[in-house]
């Protein structure tokens, strides 16, 4: 007890005893009242937070909630770039064709059939007659023609989809069920035009397409779901389209809920607040492991559509052949590139870095796209073989010196830099292994981890880089980024190229596959391109990371993966997962937990309410005393 | 409250004001107008100086925000289209659309001109006016950080007073230690712990609160208000837990400074109760440094709490800033930076302007 307290007590001995506890009580009650304001939500039976995915008791609506990490950039199909936005467009608009969940082959969508003319330059699509816009109007070929023409006109539609139409000459709709596309050159990707078809009668009223975000709800569409509500960085709500030609989805509502933090999203799944969580692009091995033993949760692991690779800088150059950048000239020697790849243990990377959640890399296109996937033959394969690598380096003129370092004929040691994404832990981990493996060979390696690697990359100021792309069912795009045409016009300017590869043989094959309408023949040419890429040593595909995601089995009874046998759920090429998802019957286990929570909350709020009343009474008494 | 209990706080006219003993001004003599008018003039000059300083700071922010964020490496257009098929023509068209094809100086002149007319440009990633995105996210931030601000200020002042009054006792040591510990805890980590414990539930603790977001969606009226309150509990607790220590420590140390003062002994000698001495004499005088801190903190309310907003997926300015930086969405980053800085500058200026009214020694 300090002097002040004593002083106080002597000054007013009669009033001290009852006053001190009262002061404490008052403060406790004040704190309680503040807490009450915050916890008030608990006291309500309307408390709607948990179990959104569970059937709501009142209206019996089945809601499927998906945790997503991305923001929606735009709800306009002419502007959207991000996976979440384009996935929403897959669900709300029909595309001319869709991809079979079994085998990725093109199947009818908005068009029921399609065929090229004899000269391969005119494609005719038959448009289905049983597709209606959600405002009741019939969807016709005229809508498709209007959409394609709008993209081709480039009036503020430069952001999205215009790459599909660069080779288009003319698009017309001679009848409501007939769409005709004329081409400048033959194009094998005519059944893979991933362009959402919008309703002409709605969109032709838009003043400036480049500024219209399509966010007036509900949005008129003809896909399996209708977009009904959207709040930035909170949620996107879609309701099942009862008139969808392929059949109504089983869930009444689909909600994409934003979780900026992946661990928070996993917690929400564990609690049952969301039915599904996908990774960015995969759940971490730790998250997957922790969810695997949870009751009512299934961790789904499917072959990924991405490849994880090492790319070398083959000498940055512009479209007209002007060289720039500072790539190590030693890498212009194929033997050096191959030696580097012979000293990379892909199996160790899959086991140690990806902890088994990946498949060992080989060809450029992941095995999930079985038509185009390619594997090197036994004699072509560059397996882990440090001895052969050392021999190749010796042959290339980089012998070991007394210190165990590889030195070129000019006396310079063989040192490389590798660009790594600071945000990707896999890059960093593999970087450490490379340092060790290549160090054993006598090669120095500096791992440059940057938040944004695009600046040195486009400036050609790197020797090697961690590279990775998502591959579509049609491989045209990822093959196209290695053609000479993709090189930048000016030095350091960003362009469509991935890492400055430009080779005549590869380019000829690329042109040939694009003009080849026979699927088997085209696949054969694509594999020849992959074989060339592999031999060149420019691209070393280390692994195909798996798609690791999880969902609640007490909320989702069944769901279609793509490929159907063992594939992924989020970010499919069609709408199969959400369209096919079947709600689980019965009560979710986490529901009990939440009702206990609500009961406790009600009790806590009641205590605080009583306390609040007491506080009020005490305050009145206190002021009365002070007045005395 | 009587005037004598806290002359500094209440007598805004200062020692020369009409209430001061022996001042000729109290007698209402004409000559007394001189010093008062001089005081007012001095104060107005002081205020004008502060406002001028604020305007200069705002301009400096405008210039800095433009050039600073251009130092962020990366090509916004390339980032925006990352992972998607884009032709060189498309990239060029996007550069033109966003004015990125112009020289930096030309861009700067465009930018300053537009800002003066209240136009912060169009967000690259959302294809919407920057101000629309900011005004859309602002209420969520004000609600969250504003509530936390009120709570941590009150708790800080109250606990600071209590601990100082019982300086050196177990309660003081415990409270100061706890506050310092919580102050050093990373807010995102504490947020995650709260999510695991009170949102998901551990052992006998049931999951009582939502894991994130501002609302469940689809609620209206009272149900909506309660729903939002329910969503606010954990993020507010996180912000309060890591935030109250600062106020507590400032309040505690300034009250400790006051505790030996003669006026307190006098007050006690008059026979006043201990808690009256504390509440009516010591605390108001010790509040001055805390008031400064309160204004500084009030400025940061707008900037929100980037990490806490991210962990709890709160759709406020903090989360917006995070997503704008990751593109980088330059117009949005600049707009947000300007708004954040303006809030801090305004609040500091306000504190400067009000302070002489609270403590006449300042601004003379």
Within-domain flag for A21: no
Within-domain flag for B252: yes
Place of tokens 């409501």: A176
Same domain assignment for residues A270 and A328 = no
Q: Which CATH number fits the domain that encloses residue A230?
A: 3.40.190.10
Within-domain flag for A620: no
Same domain assignment for residues B109 and B168 = no
Range of the domain at A421: 306-545
- Burial (CB count <10 Å: 0-12, 13-18, 19+), residue A124: middle
Same domain assignment for residues A233 and A314 = no
Same domain assignment for residues B105 and B230 = no
Residue in chain A closest to B228 (alpha carbons) equals A41
Same domain assignment for residues A297 and A327 = no
Interface check for A153 against chain B (CB to CB < 8 A): the answer is: no
Same domain assignment for residues A364 and A446 = yes
* A260 vs B158, B214, B319: nearest CB: B319
Within-domain flag for B364: no
Rg (alpha carbons) of chain B, rounded to whole number: 26
Alpha carbons within 13 A on the beta-carbon side of A380: 15
Same domain assignment for residues A412 and A347 = yes
Tokens linked to A619 = 């305050």
Q: Do B94 and A159 touch (CB under 8 A)?
A: yes
Angle in degrees, 0-180, between the axes of helices A13-39 and B221-259, rounded to the nearest 10: 140
Within-domain flag for B98: yes
- Under 8 Å CB-to-CB from A480, ≥6 apart: which residues? A486, A496, A510, B85
Tokens linked to A537 = 């040593």
Within-domain flag for A536: yes
Same domain assignment for residues B204 and B86 = no
Q: What is the DSSP letter of B197?
A: I
**Residues with pLDDT less than 70, chain B:** 1-36, 72-75, 78-90, 361-364
CA distances in angstroms from A109 to A90, A125, A197, A510, listed in the order given? 11, 11, 11, 28
Within the 567-596 window of chain A, which residues sit less than 8 Å (CB to CB) from chain B?
590, 593-594, 596
Within-domain flag for B24: no
Tokens linked to A292 = 């695997």
Residue in chain A closest to B203 (alpha carbons) equals A593
Same domain assignment for residues B172 and B244 = yes
Same domain assignment for residues A271 and A174 = yes
Range of the domain at B106: 81-119
A499, A518, A545 — which closes off a domain? A545
Within-domain flag for B8: no
Same domain assignment for residues A347 and A251 = no
Q: Give a three-class secondary structure readout of A178-213.
A: EEEEEECCCCCCCCCCCCCCCCHHHHCCCCCHHHCC
B119, B147, B180 — which closes off a domain? B119
* Pairing relationship of beta strands A63-68 and A253-258 according to DSSP bridges: parallel
Strand partners, B164: none
Which residue, among B152, B216, B267, would best test binding to A if mutated, counting the most A CBs under 10 Å from its CB?
B216
Same domain assignment for residues B68 and B95 = no
Distance, in Å, from the CA atom of A341 to the CA atom of B338, rounded to the nearest integer, reads 49
* B199 vs A267, A496, A598: nearest CB: A267
Q: What is the DSSP letter of A605?
A: H
Q: How many residues does chain B have?
A: 364
Within-domain flag for A47: no
* Pairing relationship of beta strands A464-470 and A306-312 according to DSSP bridges: antiparallel
C-alpha closest to that of A49 among B228, B194, B236, B238? B228
* Residue A321 falls in which region: left (phi positive, over 0), alpha (psi -120 to 50) or beta: left
* A8 vs B86, B229, B277: nearest CB: B277
Within the 488-517 window of chain A, which residues sit less than 8 Å (CB to CB) from chain B?
488-489, 494-496
- Under 8 Å CB-to-CB from B250, ≥6 apart: which residues? B156, B160, B289, B290, B293
Which residue, among A452, A459, A469, A626, would best test binding to B if mutated, counting the most B CBs under 10 Å from its CB?
A452
Residue pair B215/A26 in contact by the 8 Å Cβ criterion: no
Handedness of CA A76, A79, A83, A86 (dihedral sign): positive
- Give residue A469's pLDDT: 87
Enumerate the residues of chain A whose CB falls inside 8 A of the CB of residue B74.
Answer: 451-452, 454-455
Same domain assignment for residues B186 and B109 = no
Alpha carbons within 13 A on the beta-carbon side of A72: 27
Same domain assignment for residues B315 and B177 = yes
Within-domain flag for B13: no
Q: Which CATH number fits the domain that encloses residue B298?
A: 1.10.3720.10
Residue in chain B closest to A79 (alpha carbons) equals B127
Number of H helices, E strands in chain A: 17, 23
Q: Which CATH number fits the domain that encloses residue A387?
A: 3.10.105.10
Q: Do A71 and B77 touch (CB under 8 A)?
A: no
Q: Look up the pTM and report it.
A: 0.81
Same domain assignment for residues A125 and A233 = yes
Within-domain flag for B27: no
- Give residue B178's pLDDT: 94
Within-domain flag for A513: yes
Residue in chain A closest to B256 (alpha carbons) equals A4
Within-domain flag for A4: no
* Pairing relationship of beta strands A415-421 and A464-470 according to DSSP bridges: parallel
Q: Do A268 and B211 touch (CB under 8 A)?
A: yes
Tokens linked to B84 = 């998607």
Same domain assignment for residues A260 and A378 = no
Same domain assignment for residues A251 and A356 = no
Same domain assignment for residues A172 and A284 = yes
Same domain assignment for residues B115 and B235 = no
Distance, in Å, from the CA atom of A28 to the CA atom of A62, rounded to the nearest integer, reads 43
Backbone angles phi, psi at A585, to 5 degrees: -85, 165
Tokens linked to B274 = 């201990």
Same domain assignment for residues A407 and A533 = yes
Same domain assignment for residues B269 and B324 = yes
Element (H, E) at B258: helix B221-259
Within-domain flag for B17: no
Same domain assignment for residues B96 and B233 = no
Residue in chain A closest to B208 (alpha carbons) equals A597
**Cis omega (within 30 of 0) on the bond before B328?**
yes
Which residue, among A34, A261, A485, would best test binding to B if mutated, counting the most B CBs under 10 Å from its CB?
A261
> Nearest-CA distance from A389 to chain B in Å?
33
Distance, in Å, from the CA atom of B18 to the CA atom of B14, rounded to the nearest integer, reads 9
Same domain assignment for residues B104 and B136 = no
Q: Do B90 and A2 touch (CB under 8 A)?
A: no
- Give residue A42's pLDDT: 39
* Pairing relationship of beta strands A547-552 and A415-421 according to DSSP bridges: unpaired
Mean pLDDT by runs of 10 across the 628 residues of chain A is 33 34 44 44 36 48 91 88 88 96 91 94 96 95 95 68 83 96 93 93 90 90 96 93 95 94 91 88 87 92 91 92 92 94 95 94 93 93 94 94 89 92 88 95 93 83 92 89 88 82 95 92 96 94 94 95 89 92 69 45 54 54 44
* A73 vs B125, B215, B219: nearest CB: B125
- Give residue A604's pLDDT: 54
> Nearest-CA distance from A69 to chain B in Å?
9
Instruction: Give the count of domains, chain A.
Output: 2
Same domain assignment for residues B218 and B262 = yes
Instruction: Give the count of domains, chain B.
Output: 2
Within-domain flag for A480: yes
Within-domain flag for A520: yes
């Amino acid at each position: 007890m300090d002097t002040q307290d004593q002083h106080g007590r002597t000054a007013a001995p009669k009033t001290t005893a009852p006053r001190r506890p009262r002061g404490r009580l008052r403060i406790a009650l004040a704190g309680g009242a503040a807490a009450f304001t915050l916890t008030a939500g608990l006291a309500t039976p309307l408390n709607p937070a948990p179990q959104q995915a569970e059937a709501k008791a009142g209206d019996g609506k089945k809601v499927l909630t998906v945790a997503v990490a991305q923001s929606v950039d735009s709800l306009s199909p002419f502007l959207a770039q991000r996976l979440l936005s384009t996935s929403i467009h897959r669900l709300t608009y029909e595309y001319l064709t869709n991809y079979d969940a079994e085998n990725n082959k093109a199947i009818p969508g908005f068009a029921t059939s399609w065929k090229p003319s004899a000269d391969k330059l005119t494609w005719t699509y038959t448009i289905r007659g049983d597709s209606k816009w959600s405002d009741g109007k019939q969807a016709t070929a005229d809508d498709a023609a209007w959409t394609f023409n709008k993209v081709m006109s480039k009036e503020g539609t430069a952001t999205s989809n215009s790459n599909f139409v660069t080779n288009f000459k003319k698009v017309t709709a001679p009848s409501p069920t007939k769409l005709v596309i004329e081409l400048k050159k033959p194009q094998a990707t005519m059944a893979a035009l991933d362009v959402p078809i919008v309703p002409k009668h709605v969109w032709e009223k838009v003043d400036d397409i480049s500024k219209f975000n399509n966010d007036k709800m509900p949005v008129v569409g003809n896909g399996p779901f209708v977009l009904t509500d959207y709040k930035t960085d909170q949620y996107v709500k879609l309701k099942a389209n009862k008139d969808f030609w392929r059949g109504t989805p089983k869930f009444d509502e689909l909600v994409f809920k934003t979780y900026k933090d992946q661990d928070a999203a996993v917690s929400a799944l564990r609690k049952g607040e969301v039915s599904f969580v996908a990774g960015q692009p995969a759940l971490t091995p730790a998250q997957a492991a922790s969810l695997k033993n949870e009751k009512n949760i299934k961790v789904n692991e499917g072959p990924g559509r991405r490849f994880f690779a090492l790319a070398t800088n083959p000498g940055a150059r512009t479209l007209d052949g002007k060289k720039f950048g500072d790539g190590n000239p030693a890498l212009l020697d194929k033997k050096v590139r191959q030696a580097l790849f012979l000293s990379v243990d892909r199996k160790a990377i899959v086991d140690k870095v990806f902890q088994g959640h990946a498949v060992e890399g080989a060809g450029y296109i992941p095995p999930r796209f079985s038509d185009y996937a390619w594997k090197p033959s036994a004699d072509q394969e560059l397996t882990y073989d440090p001895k052969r690598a050392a021999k190749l380096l010796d042959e290339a003129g980089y012998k070991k010196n007394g210190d165990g370092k590889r030195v070129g004929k000019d006396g310079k040691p063989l040192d490389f830099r590798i660009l790594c994404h600071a945000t990707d832990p896999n890059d960093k981990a593999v970087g450490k292994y490379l340092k060790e493996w290549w160090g054993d060979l006598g090669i120095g390696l500096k791992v440059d981890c940057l938040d944004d690697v695009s600046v040195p990359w486009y400036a050609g100021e790197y020797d090697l880089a961690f590279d990775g792309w998502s591959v579509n069912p049609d491989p045209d795009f990822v093959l196209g980024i290695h053609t000479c045409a993709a090189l930048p016009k000016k030095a350091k300017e960003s362009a469509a190229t991935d890492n400055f590869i430009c080779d005549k043989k590869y380019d000829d094959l690329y042109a040939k596959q694009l003009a080849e309408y026979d699927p088997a023949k085209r696949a054969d040419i694509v594999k020849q391109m992959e074989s060339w890429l592999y031999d060149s040593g420019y691209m070393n595909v280390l692994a195909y990371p798996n798609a690791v995601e999880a969902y609640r089995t007490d909320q989702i009874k069944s769901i279609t993966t793509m490929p159907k046998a063992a594939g992924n759920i989020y970010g499919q090429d069609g709408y199969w997962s959400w369209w096919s998802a079947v709600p689980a019957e019965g009560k979710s286990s986490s529901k009990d937990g939440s009702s206990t929570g609500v009961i406790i909350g009600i009790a806590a709020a009641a205590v605080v309410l009583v306390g609040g009343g007491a506080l009020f009474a005490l305050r009145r008494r206190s002021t009365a005393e002070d007045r005395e | 409250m009587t005037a004598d209990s806290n002359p500094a706080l209440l007598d805004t006219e200062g020692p020369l004001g009409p209430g001061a003993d022996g001042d000729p001004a109290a007698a209402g003599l004409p000559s007394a107008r001189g010093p008062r008018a001089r005081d007012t003039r001095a104060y107005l000059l002081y205020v004008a100086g502060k406002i001028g300083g604020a305007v200069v700071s705002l301009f400096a922010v405008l210039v800095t925000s433009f050039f600073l964020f251009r130092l962020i490496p990366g090509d916004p257009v390339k980032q925006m289209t990352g992972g998607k098929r884009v032709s060189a023509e498309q990239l060029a068209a996007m550069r033109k659309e966003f004015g990125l094809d112009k020289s930096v100086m030309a861009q700067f002149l465009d930018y300053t001109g537009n800002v003066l007319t209240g136009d912060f440009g169009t967000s690259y990633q959302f294809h919407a006016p920057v101000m629309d995105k900011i005004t859309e996210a602002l209420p969520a931030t004000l609600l969250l950080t504003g509530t936390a601000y009120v709570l941590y200020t009150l708790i800080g002042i109250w606990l600071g007073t209590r601990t100082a009054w019982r300086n050196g006792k177990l309660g003081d040591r415990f409270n100061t230690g706890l506050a310092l510990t919580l102050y050093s805890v990373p807010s995102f980590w504490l947020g995650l712990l709260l999510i695991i414990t009170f949102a998901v539930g551990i052992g006998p603790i049931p999951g009582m609160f939502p894991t994130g977001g501002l609302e469940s969606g689809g609620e209206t009226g009272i149900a909506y208000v309660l729903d939002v309150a329910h969503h606010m509990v954990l993020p507010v607790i996180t912000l309060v837990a890591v935030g109250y220590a600062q106020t507590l420590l400032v309040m505690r140390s300034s009250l400790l400074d006051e505790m030996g003062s003669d006026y307190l002994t006098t007050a006690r000698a008059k026979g006043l109760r201990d808690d009256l001495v504390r509440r009516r004499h010591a605390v108001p005088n010790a509040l001055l440094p805390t008031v400064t801190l309160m204004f500084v903190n009030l400025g940061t309310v707008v900037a929100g709490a980037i990490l806490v907003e991210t962990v709890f997926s709160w759709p406020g300015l903090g989360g917006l800033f995070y997503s704008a930086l990751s593109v980088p969405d330059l117009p949005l980053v600049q707009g947000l930076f300007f708004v954040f800085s303006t809030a801090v500058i305004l609040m500091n200026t306000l504190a400067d302007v009000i302070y002489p009214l609270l403590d006449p020694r300042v601004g003379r």
